[in-house]
Amino acid sequence: GVMEKLGLGPEVLLQENPKLIYARLTGFGQTGKYAKTAGHDINYLALSGVLSKLGRKDENPYAPVNLLADFAGGGVMCAMGIITALYERTRSGKGQIVDASMVKGVAYLSSFLWKSQNLGLWNRPRGENLLDSGAPFYETYKTSDGKFMAVGAIEPHFYNQLITGLGLDADKLPSQLSFSDWPKMKKKFASVFAQKTQAEWCSIFDDTDACVTPVLSFDDAASHQHNKQRSSFIKNDQEEISPRPAPLLSRTPAVPSFKRDPFIGEHTEEILLEYGFTKQEITKLHSDKVIEFSKPKANL
């Protein structure tokens, strides 16, 4: 209801411009019991059902920072809704309102979990399934230098290359999908991975299809050979590293800015002046706390 209080709700603006795409990104959505209730990523994950699936065996559910509901179920889904509405407008000539709820967005994002429940992928308790750290071949393992390797050798031909790289004899191991042996196999894999450094394991598994890769820090990710060859990360004029825009379009690739991110409110005044607002109107908006100002201090 914030935009309505400013007299800028969708009904008002769509009357003035029927072609407008008006996106509303919220946690709980525009209607429902929690619509006006405060929340954060972990709350939206909880209400969607997804949080109940995240976590290791015998541990509490955990939220993977705030990526899932805020950015994936929220920002990305909202952007997809805007793109869909823009495409529909090319046919109808009309705009519409996009109601992007993070609860619904992350629930829809997890459709695979819902639709695969009868496939045997999620019929065991949390932390004991194929993709939630239950399987020894889909897990992270600590190396002798305190770093980690990520293992995702699900398919049998990938799993065989994992076993070979670890120096183990497949004939002396239980079947890959012997669930009762998974805890024992995880301990065995962990003891083997702990015998070499991350770099040593990379020299063994690089150029194989064992689906084994290093768990990289931000600094290491930016300097890794593969990512450098793909120009996956960029530096701005403050030497700050960030990911290059993705996905890459062949004909109209994104051109990233190499300037630092602006502060909230840094350019508010100049933009409003550019759009015809008077100094007095801008001062009034600021005093009413509709807008913010934030001028960076000179580093002298």
* Rounded Cα–Cα distance for residues 179 and 162 (Å): 18
Question: By the 8 A CB rule, do 134 and 182 touch?
Answer: yes
- Among candidate residues 109, 111, 96, the one with its CA nearest the CA of residue 24: 96
Helix (H, G, I), strand (E, B) or coil at 285: helix
**Annotated active-site residue in 40, 206, 220, 226:** 40
* Rounded Cα–Cα distance for residues 182 and 188 (Å): 10
* Rounded Cα–Cα distance for residues 203 and 208 (Å): 10
**Which is it for strands 21-26 and 96-101: parallel, antiparallel or unpaired?**
parallel
**Annotated active-site residue in 41, 58, 70, 286:** 70
Whats the size of the chain, residue-wise? 300
* Rounded Cα–Cα distance for residues 51 and 200 (Å): 36
Q: Is 267 a catalytic residue?
A: no
* Rounded Cα–Cα distance for residues 231 and 228 (Å): 5
Helix (H, G, I), strand (E, B) or coil at 282: helix
Q: Is 157 a catalytic residue?
A: no
Alpha helix stretches (DSSP H) within 132-278: 156-165, 182-193, 198-205, 218-223, 225-229, 268-274
Taking each helix axis as running N to C, give the angle between helix 77-92 and helix 102-109, from 0 to 180 degrees, rounded to the nearest 10: 90
* Rounded Cα–Cα distance for residues 240 and 233 (Å): 10
Question: By the 8 A CB rule, do 109 and 34 touch?
Answer: no
Return the active site residues: 40, 70
